[in-house]
Structure 1
Amino acid sequence: MVSPFAGSNTTGFVAQMLQRRWISFEINEDYIIGSRYRFEDL
């Protein structure tokens, strides 16, 4: 799965939970930093 506009990375999180391979891109560093909390417990 490729997400060219990751935002808060909800799509990446769901892909991870479904054990899918994924990659996302985001130009805004604030969104990248903010999406880290989704993956803390994994």
Structure 2
Amino acid sequence: MRDYKTASEELMRTNTELDKKQDECDKLEDDIRRICRQTQR
């Protein structure tokens, strides 16, 4: 079994990567909404 410190560091790294991906997804959603609004006019 790996030690606790290594596991928690890996978890923090994973969470940071997930946060970045979530930000990218949010930006994409915003872009899609903007495009949809423009095409509906």
Instruction: Tell whether the structures are fold-level matches, with TM greater than 0.5.
Output: no
Which one has the largest radius of gyration? Answer: 2
Structure with more strand by fraction: 1
Structure with more helix by fraction: 2
Structure having greater relative contact order (Cα 8 Å, sep ≥ 6): 1
TM-score relative to the length of structure 2: 0.31
